[in-house]
Amino acid sequence: MIASQSKKKFSDKILEWHRHHGRYDLPWQKNKDPYLVWISEIMLQQTQVGTVIPFYIKFIDRFRTIVDLAEASEDEVMAYWSGLGFYSRARNLHKTAKIIAVQFSCKFPDSYENLIQLPGIGKSTAGAILSFCYKKKFAILDGNVKRVLSRFFGIQESINLTKTEKHLWDISEQLLPDNDIDIYTQAIMDFGATLCTPKKPQCDSCPINQTCIAKKNNLTGTIPLKNKTKTQADRSTEFYIYECNKQILLVKNRTGVWNGLWLPPQQNSLSKKYIIHKQGERQCVFSHYRLKYKYFLIKITNKKDLMVDGLWFDWKEISDLGLPAPIKSLMINLSN
């Protein structure tokens, strides 16, 4: 149990630091509408702020409300998400928008019990929505907060472990101030994102450095500790890009990290001889493996020669479709 005096000193210093050094100009800070906060929190999972901002602005410009998102097609949602990665987040956004539209009459839930039941909303995201939008006393534990607390309390167990995460949740909840919960939530996130950074933290400028165990023991380079995840072997595939009358054939993928996105067929579907107009090799890197792929541009005169189900699109439609970013880039280059 953290002493009340220590708890108050910690939260007060974080709040004081934020008054002078916090971030106040992020696009999702302009309006504490829970819908907008929710979109930003999902986008920010495993993705840096600088990457998220242009995607967020474009996404919100198209899907301004829960209704807009709920009524959109999956294809359109995926198209606006293309390039952000971790596409299950987009699918869950769409599912949750539909649930809120039907079960909650388009009104965003304001209780933890209801929020935690929605696809893609975990304990930390629920806490962020409740504290930011409803000023309710709930903790968060995103990557930034884990790093700050692990260093300050000198936690040297892997944060991947369930028991360590539970311990960090206990600490995070105990440190919550009685007032200004929304400001404190933003403050501790900003603190980790801009001061107590993964590499080269600015310890000399830190207002809590005198009581930070990692700083005292020169452990900021090793805390937080993560168990190394097993790296999977490289994977490989092929993409057959069939063109007929200035249209290309795409199929909806239903497996893996690109589930729900459009792709060219991954196997040869022609029963007769063909000429390859362009070909090459590329690769893209995921969190645990690298995908190497060959591509072949094949022009045909009769769509019926193909033995595969899919849809034909004009080349000019590619930029507006929900394709994985590396495949979309490839297709756009081939169209020029």
| CATH 3.30.1510.10 is the classification of domain 235-335 | no
Least confident interval from 4-8, 89-93, 153-157, 232-236: 4-8
Name the amino acid, one letter, at 159: I
Name the amino acid, one letter, at 183: I
- The whole-number pLDDT of residue 2 equals 74
DSSP string, 284-324: EE-SS-EEEEEEEEEE-S-GGGB-S--EEEEGGGGGGS---
**Structural domain spans, the chain:** 4-216, 235-335
The encoded tokens of residue 282 equal: 């590329």
Does the pLDDT at position 297 exceed 90?
yes
Does the pLDDT at position 91 exceed 90?
yes
Total H helices, total E strands in the chain: 13, 6
Q: Helix (H, G, I), strand (E, B), or coil: what is residue 243?
A: strand
- The whole-number pLDDT of residue 94 equals 97
pTM here is 0.89
Residues marked active site are found at: 41
Q: Helix (H, G, I), strand (E, B), or coil: what is residue 328?
A: helix
pLDDT digits (tens, 9 = 90+) for 323-332: 999 999 999 9
The encoded tokens of residue 305 equal: 């020669």
Backbone angles phi, psi at 314, to 5 degrees: -70, 150
| CATH 3.30.2320.30 is the classification of domain 4-216 | no
Cα distances (Å, whole numbers) of residue 149 to 160, 183, 192, 212: 14, 18, 9, 9
Q: Averaged over 101-112, what is the pLDDT?
A: 96
Does the pLDDT at position 172 exceed 70?
yes
Q: Averaged over 172-198, what is the pLDDT?
A: 96
